[in-house]
Amino acid sequence: MKAPTKLTACAISIAWLTIFAGGSSAEEPGTTLQAFTEEALFRKEVVFDAGDHVREPYLAVATDGTILAVRNDRGHLRRSTDGGESWGEIIEVPIAHSDSNMIVDERTGDLLVLRMWDGSDRLFRSIDHGKTWQEEQITLRPNEVMKWFERTGFKERATKAERGKNGSYYIHANASESGITLEHGEHEGRLLVTATLRPGAEAHPSDRDPVDAIYSCAVYSDDGGETWQVSGLFPDGYTEEAGLVELSDGTIYYNSRSHRGFHDSEYFRELRPEETLRREAWSYDGGERWEDLRVNDVLPDGGGYNRG
Residue 16 has what pLDDT? 34
Domain contains 184: yes
198 plus 278 within the same structural domain: yes
60 plus 150 within the same structural domain: no
Instruction: State how far the alpha carbon of 215 is from the alpha carbons of 92, 135, 150, in Å.
Output: 31, 27, 17
Domain contains 119: no
- State the burial class of residue 93 (Cβ atoms within 10 Å of its Cβ: 0-12, 13-18, 19+): buried
Q: What kind and span of H or E run contains 145?
A: helix 144-152
86 plus 142 within the same structural domain: no
Separation CA 300–CA 284 (nearest Å): 26
282 plus 157 within the same structural domain: yes
Residue 265 has what pLDDT? 86
62 plus 151 within the same structural domain: no
Domain contains 127: no
88 plus 154 within the same structural domain: no
Domains identified in the chain, total number: 2
Domain contains 113: no
Domain contains 30: yes
238 plus 174 within the same structural domain: yes
Low-confidence ranges of the chain (pLDDT < 50): 1-31, 308
Q: pLDDT tens-digit profile of 258-270?
A: 988 888 888 888 8
Domain contains 101: no
Residue 306 has what pLDDT? 67
Q: What is the model's pTM?
A: 0.87
Helix (H, G, I), strand (E, B) or coil at 94: coil
Instruction: Give the structural domain span for 3.
Output: 1-96
165 plus 287 within the same structural domain: yes
Boundary-marking domain end, from 62, 78, 96 = 96
Boundary-marking domain end, from 46, 64, 96 = 96
Residue 36 has what pLDDT? 66
Instruction: State how far the alpha carbon of 76 is from the alpha carbons of 54, 89, 124, 175, 177, in Å.
Output: 11, 10, 14, 16, 18
172 plus 242 within the same structural domain: yes
